[in-house]
Structure 1
């Protein structure tokens, strides 16, 4: 006899909401406030380089090396602007501080049109909701200002957990909070490895959200694939009967 579904775990970024403008545009806006005129394309390329560099040296916000999310991100911002030939240390520090805090503002995030209704539908089915996200400690505030926080019974960020998806350990922490076997839990996310494969590796019912049909993966059956969150309630009901 199949265990009935009790919980739905959610990824957040690019699943429930997305950054409204490109990083290059947002960083340039901050630079302009400080009298700098930079190219969004150049800044975007510099950001990608700085982000890759910081991620390889200090995975998951450098928690294991004694960093935290804020110091990690501020280092990314400073390196980004340094690569764009900004050398004033006071200016780099101010930009890094401002941008770290700016990303808690609702205007920097766009909630997908199908997110709120999907969360409400899950609750209407009697399911409890939690978050498992590779994110830093700002996530709670971001969900609050975007009007989504009240849907969730708990949040687990990779900064808080000390471990990031696709490690099974972060899902194990979530299952402990759910207090039910993995067979009673589903997970929704947009990343093939971090969300779909990782959740299924611990026997959670993983669903891959593929809004733009970019995942050409023969190992993801159609019943595990969502083109929109509107498809989710009926899929979950199949696991509740």
Structure 2
């Protein structure tokens, strides 16, 4: 019997970050922006165009965030118009005298970064969700996945495009959100790959603020309300996995969750077994943004989570 089950936790709420954890830009965003601009007649220069466009993008993003926080939701602007402003302000310094901004550029970039067109799914994502689907229908036989019921959520600092991006990769995404009353009460299906999505855009708070994790716990309770299996939130261990040390790992632990830092660049000792070398789960030393070094529980791949047990990093 596992330590988790011995403590009465037979089920798992597994929540994942999205950008940088499940998918990543297929081309560096400044480079893709510069190439798109060139197709619409904006010359960003031949040399180091990615660097200059990247710097301009960061400045435009920062200024727009100050004017219209939370991707424009705080001021009623909305995410689509917010990103339109960012795109136009990114390229305004590259326009020639009397050159009008090509509105089609906004449409192209909004479309590109609303689906898999602009991103690559990490290689371990589809196999991991297939494993979870197989586990959900398994009736007999041994398995490294110890949990009787697994509910999967997304917690991400992002606007409302994330569910559509994940769906475009073929994952099934439940309709439940932390948003409007209809979104909060949308019928949850335990058969979806991802049962609900918690966006900072909806909550109004970003990781590492622990309140976004509290909102997720409430979403779990709402998702389980009235289920025929008698499942309750108290019977679920909570685990969060992401690629940002401060926002993901520290934020989750501060909210009382278990956490795994996803580090796909992590090296594994030669003495590990073949499986451990492939998946890599264990304690490792990392350096935070303040230059301090500390030990955290890291995974090299989502597949490593089959080896995770509550308390196994103590």
Query: Shorter-chain TM-score: which interval?
Result: 0.7 to 0.9
Structure with more of its chain in strand, by fraction: 2
Equivalent pairs counted in the alignment come to 237
Deviations 1:138-176 (A, max 9, x none): 111111111223410111111122222122222112111
Of 89-98 and 204-213, deviating more is: 89-98
Match of 1:160 among 202, 206, 212: 202
Residue 86 (structure 1) shift = 5.5
Higher relative contact order (CA 8 A, sep 6+): 1
Larger-Rg structure: 2
Are the equivalent residues in 1 in contact too, given 2:65–2:71 (CA < 8 A)?
yes
Are the equivalent residues in 1 in contact too, given 2:69–2:75 (CA < 8 A)?
no
Q: CA 1:220/1:43 → structure 2, altered by over 3 Å: closer, same or farther?
A: same
Match of 1:177 among 209, 213, 219: 219
Are the equivalent residues in 2 in contact too, given 1:11–1:195 (CA < 8 A)?
yes
Q: Which residue of 1 aligns with 2:244?
A: 191
With the length of structure 1 as denominator, give the TM-score of the two structures. 0.86
Q: Which residue of 1 aligns with 2:161?
A: 138
Matched, 1:111 2:182: no
Cα RMSD, aligned residues only: 2.6
Residue 14 (structure 1) shift = 0.5
Residue 87 (structure 1) shift = 6.7
1-structure distance, mates of 2:8, 2:239 = 12
Q: CA 1:155/1:88 → structure 2, altered by over 3 Å: closer, same or farther?
A: farther
Q: Unaligned stretches of 5+ in structure 2?
A: 1-5, 136-144, 173-191, 222-232, 267-284
Matched, 1:23 2:29: yes
Q: Unaligned stretches of 5+ in structure 1?
A: none
